[in-house]
Amino acid sequence: SLHRRRRSSANAAIAQQLDALVLVLAKHSFISMLLRKYICRRLLEYYSQPAHKVVGTPDASVDFSSLLGQWHWKRTYKQLYKQQKGMWLTPVELFAPYYSNVFANFVSSSMKPMLESKKHNSDGFQIVELGGGRGTNAKALLNHLQLHHNDVYDRLTEYTIFDTSPTLHELQRQNLKIDSDYADKINLVNVDMMEIAEGTSPFLTPSNIPTTLIALELLDNLPHDKIARCFETDEILQAELIPVDDVDCATSGASSEAIIDTSKQYHEEFSPASDPLLQNILSIDPSLSTRLASSGPRWIPSVA
């Protein structure tokens, strides 16, 4: 009987300890997140807004021939920003359609010799745009090609847009697939660029088709990694984030599944570089990890 009471008491103590452990784990459930993945998720929040808030557009096109000089342009520029509803305006939107016409001329001058050359066993070519915005560039570029370089336009087999934003993806569909003369040439892909970089989503299949790649206002809007070097071991370290409340209890591992609580403040810590994409980028370009004179952290364009 005494033995049973002792065993029962021991079991109760173990149960209490397990309950306490569960509470601690519930409170400190955040696993450290790689800085690149944190930036990616915050960008996804931005890109998921209504399309007009992601990329704005002027209410009317600018009559550049009427501008009297730089001062006149600066005043017009300020007025455009006050009138538009978005967070910012891209050069494609500000200088439509002339900005895109330049790209159309480039596509024609670069693709035409390739198509005429016997080195490329292809009857056509393709255009790939990363981050298509409102579809303004694609529409203006295709229009200029059709009007002024029709022989090149006819040999364009496909114009593919990869975009992270679901709202811009839908706007592109409306502008380029529904209300468009170029619908048969347009291919729209809604995908996260980080997933492409990490190899979890497909990009382009190898082919001999001549391709023009366009990336406007994109590279500076992609998630980056941050690295540093350990002063003692000279080991390369990767930046990770954990909530301030969980600094003492978080486990390392840079989980991609951790949930971001925007009400919390986050603490940046460095741990030995273990992320496959980051390691691959550093192996391709070792100069990215060379010691700086200041020995401070360095941003790495791992997705770009």
Q: With helix as H, strand as E and coil as C, how does 110-135 read? A: HHHHHHHCCCCCCCCEEEEEECCCCC
Is 234 in contact with 14 (CB distance < 8 Å)? no
Cα separation, 100 vs 139, whole angstroms:
9
What contacts 260, CB < 8 A, 6 or more positions away? 33, 38, 41, 42
Owner of token pair 């990329």? 55
Q: Rounded distance, CA 128 to CA 289, Å?
A: 31
Distances (CA, A) of 133 to 46, 48, 171, 178, 226: 13, 13, 9, 17, 27
pLDDT at res. 21: 52
Question: Mean pLDDT in runs of 10 for the chain (304 residues)?
Answer: 54 61 47 90 92 88 92 92 82 94 97 83 90 95 97 96 96 91 95 93 88 90 91 90 65 46 78 95 90 74 90
pLDDT reported for residue 30: 53
Q: 240-289: per-residue pLDDT in tens?
A: 998 876 544 444 444 444 445 555 688 899 999 999 999 999 999 988 88
Q: For Cα atoms 283, 272, 296, give the angle at the middle one, nearest 5 degrees.
A: 80
Enter the tokens of residue 294. 């200041």
The letter for the amino acid at 178 is: I
- Please say whether the beta carbons of 182 and 171 come within 8 A: no
Compute the C-alpha angle 89/50/215, nearest 5°.
45
Beta bridge partners of 89: none
Give me Rg for the CA atoms of the chain: 26
Among 268, 288, 264, 284, which residue's Cα sits nearest to residue 276? 284
For residue range 130-168, list pLDDT tens digits in order: 999 999 999 999 999 999 999 999 999 999 999 999 999
